[in-house]
Amino acid sequence: MGIIIERKRADGTTGYTAQIRKKKAGKTVYSMCQTFDRKQAADTWLKKTEKDLLNGTRLPQLRQREKTLEEVITQYVTDFGANIGKTKAQCLGAFKKMDIARKACSDIDATILVELARSLKKGRKAQTVGNYMMHLSAVFFVASTAYNADLKESEMRKALKICRKLQFIKKSGSRSRRLSLDELEKLMTYFECSSQCPGTARPSTSAGLSLIDTASLI
């Protein structure tokens, strides 16, 4: 009934998460987990909890409802609100209105995420879908540690890999534009001044190209 999951933490140490979960008709009925620094401690907790479950002493705690994706997104926005841009906030807000938001975190796997990307692709470019999925992935990457929610990073990574192969998502392409009149005037002034001022070396082609490149980034 229970399993122990080994995870590498950001600081390089290893955490051992003992997890007990029961499903009925494919849906999670209850779920409980606790993380330890030592595998032996996780194993001890797991065995004791399973024993208590058989005796009926842990059922009230195990029956606590598991968090949904919507709840985790809400907590994420609350915690990181000051550092979330307008576009990211809009994307996460859109996810909260979708059916996937009402799913228990442990029920969301790579297949569901690929289907999510497929649905997002209707009426949107692959680059836009990619932005949506990357914003959601940020929630997955902190959910387990920050909110004790069973959103699996591995499932998100797997889904993103498949979505790229299916061309559901793409990286945003580089943008180019013509120089404005003001930028052209600055460039011409530079060359004119360099050629008319005594003692000034004639500007090289590479210098001109450098200015053009710089101007195009303004």
The answer to whether position 108 is within a domain reads: yes
Q: Is 34 exposed, middle or buried (0-12, 13-18, 19+ CB in 10 A)?
A: middle
Residues 147 and 191 in one domain: no
pTM for the structure as a whole: 0.55
Residue where one domain finishes, among candidates 62, 94, 112: 62
Give the CA distances from residue 25 to residues 22, 91, 172, in Å, rounded to whole numbers and listed in that order.
10, 32, 41
End-to-end CA separation in angstroms for the chain: 60
**Domain CATH number, residue 75:** 1.10.150
The answer to whether position 11 is within a domain reads: yes
The answer to whether position 173 is within a domain reads: no
The pLDDT value given to residue 196: 60
Q: Is 18 exposed, middle or buried (0-12, 13-18, 19+ CB in 10 A)?
A: buried
Question: 132 with 57: CB under 8 angstroms?
Answer: no
Residues 50 and 82 in one domain: no
Bridge partners, residue 21, by sequence: 31
Residues 53 and 96 in one domain: no
CA dihedral 103, 107, 112, 113 (to 10 degrees): 80
Residues 58 and 82 in one domain: no
The pLDDT value given to residue 133: 96
Total domain count for the chain? Answer: 3
The answer to whether position 87 is within a domain reads: yes
Residue where one domain finishes, among candidates 62, 83, 100: 62
Question: 149 with 67: CB under 8 angstroms?
Answer: yes
Residues 98 and 153 in one domain: yes
- Closest among 17, 56, 13, 54 to 149, alpha carbons compared: 17
The pLDDT value given to residue 13: 84
Q: Which two tokens stand for residue 45?
A: 């907790």
Given the structure tokens 């009149």, which residue do they identify?
181
pLDDT tens over the chain, length 218 residues: 688 888 887 678 888 888 887 776 666 666 777 788 899 988 998 888 888 777 766 555 554 567 889 999 999 998 887 788 889 999 999 999 999 998 888 889 999 999 999 999 998 999 999 999 999 999 999 998 888 888 999 999 999 999 999 999 987 655 556 666 676 666 666 666 655 665 555 545 444 545 445 444 43
Question: 169 with 130: CB under 8 angstroms?
Answer: yes
Residues 156 and 86 in one domain: yes
The answer to whether position 174 is within a domain reads: no
The pLDDT value given to residue 180: 65
Which spans in the chain are helix H?
A: 39-55, 59-62, 69-80, 86-96, 110-120, 126-147, 153-165, 181-196, 205-216
Domain with 22 in it: 2-62
